[in-house]
Amino acid sequence: MKNWLMGAAAALVIAAAPTASFAETIRVTLQLPETHSLGKNWKAFAKIVEEKSGGDLEIQLFPSAQLFKDKEVPSAVGSGAIEAGSAFIGRFAGSVPAVDVVAIPFIFDGEAHIRAAVAPGSELRKTIDGAILKETNNKVLWWQAFGRNIYLNNESAIAVPADIKNKKVRTYGKVHGWTVEALGGAPTLMSGSKQFLAYQQGAVDVGMTGASAVKSRKLYEVMDHMTLTFDAAIEFVAIINNDFYNGLSDEHKAIIDDAAKEVEQLLRDEIYAEEAQTVAEMKDKMTVVELSDAQRAAWVEATAGVVQRFIDETGDVGAAAVAAVKAAK
């Protein structure tokens, strides 16, 4: 009887207590460790959002593919299985082929051109972000820079297009495969995590990846040449389920949108600075080849047909994306 009375009293106290306010939780799936640049980027976003919302919005990060693999992220976020996440932009190519515009070789003249073309509010962003939203129910919060494409190999260095001819080349997207074909090579689609072993065992002759991966994945241990073609941009996107986003208050939407713009610029600045630092560090571990103007012109000429192939396959949206990139010069 005594225990029953104590329980009843406790229940009355709980019932009489003020109702606690619960934070709106946004779960985020990430393929990389939280110590990676993209993980730090989400943590910076979380800090801003949680502080400005007074704790009414809470970001929970699930790094290292704890919940979903990279290829599963677009459907997981779009369906509402999780609220938000990061995915390589090429993962949307099945629904929105035009996203691969950033992989077209030499469509960008350099870092400044990339920055202008992919800036929030740019024509390219309107075209790509709008198509992703329409086709997948994923709202793009911001683009996450990952650096630029380079080539890796052993023995003699890659310097001119002929150096790719008849070589088996690791790629990470359809348009990258077209580039390799234009150079006379044989593309082999392969995830980033499989690179080290593939290079070590000679499963491919040439590697295609980002400069940052050479350091983070220790690819310099199995490849001794790095050629800085910087022929394509590597981009990820931070996305949120559109239904979830629309269910937020206007105040919370504004906080999220403002934070997204802030962390997008921070990451892009950091990535290009890290890319330059990585290249400098790798010069002590491998031969780093920088293309001369004449060599670069030869690469541009050899791969020129890829842009028309892209337009032919992607239609009006792809053509609009190409036009938007060119107009951003």
Report the chain's mean pLDDT, rounded to a whole number: 92
Report the residue count for the chain.
Answer: 329
**166-171-176 Cα angle (round to 5):** 90
* 16-58: pLDDT as tens digits: 333 334 689 999 999 888 888 899 999 999 999 999 999 999 9
Q: What integer pLDDT is reported at residue 323 of this predicted model? A: 96
Measured CA to CA, the distance from residue 116 to residue 319 in angstroms comes to 18
pLDDT confidence tier of residue 5, bands split at 50, 70 and 90:
very low
The pLDDT of residue 157: 92
Q: Residue 124 is part of which domain span?
A: 22-327
Q: What is the pLDDT of residues 151-160, one digit of tens each?
A: 999 989 999 9
Determine, yes or no, domain membership for 11: no
How do residues 75-129 score in pLDDT, each as one tens digit? Answer: 999 999 999 999 999 999 999 999 999 999 999 999 999 999 999 999 999 999 9
Does residue 2 fall inside a structural domain? no
3-state secondary structure of 160: coil
Measure the CA–CA gap between 92 and 145, rounded to whole angstroms. Answer: 16
Q: Does residue 17 belong to any structural domain of this protein?
A: no
Q: What is the mean pLDDT of residues 301-315?
A: 97
pTM: 0.88
**Assigned domain for 10 exists:** no
Question: How many other C-beta atoms are found inside a 10 Å radius of the C-beta of residue 113?
Answer: 16
Predicted local distance difference test score (pLDDT) of residue 56: 97
Q: Scanning the structure block, which residue is given the tokens 């610029």?
A: 265
- What whole-number percentage of the chain has pLDDT above 70? 93
**How many domains, in total, are found in the chain?**
1
pLDDT above 70 (res 7): no
pLDDT at position 22 is: 65
Domain-embedded: residue 316: yes
DSSP alpha helix (H) spans, the chain: 2-16, 37-52, 73-79, 111-118, 123-136, 174-182, 195-201, 211-216, 242-246, 250-282, 293-302, 305-327
pLDDT of residue 8: 37
Tell whether 157 is covered by a domain: yes
**Residue 200 forms part of a structural domain:** yes
Q: What's the mean pLDDT in 270-288?
A: 95
Measure Cα distances from 309 to 128, 175, 265, 278, 312 in Å: 18, 9, 32, 33, 5
Query: What is the arithmetic mean of pLDDT over 137-142?
Result: 98
Q: How far is the C-alpha of 142 from the C-alpha of 239, rounded, in Å?
A: 7
pLDDT in tens, 186-221: 999 998 889 999 999 999 999 999 988 899 889 999
Report the alpha-carbon distance of residue 257 to residue 150 in Å, rounded.
33
Kindly state the average pLDDT of the residues 253-259: 98
Distance CA 41, CA 266 (A): 8
Q: What is the mean pLDDT of residues 56-61?
A: 97
CATH of the domain at 255: 3.40.190.170
Which pLDDT score, from 0 to 100, does residue 192 have? 85
In a domain, 5, yes or no: no
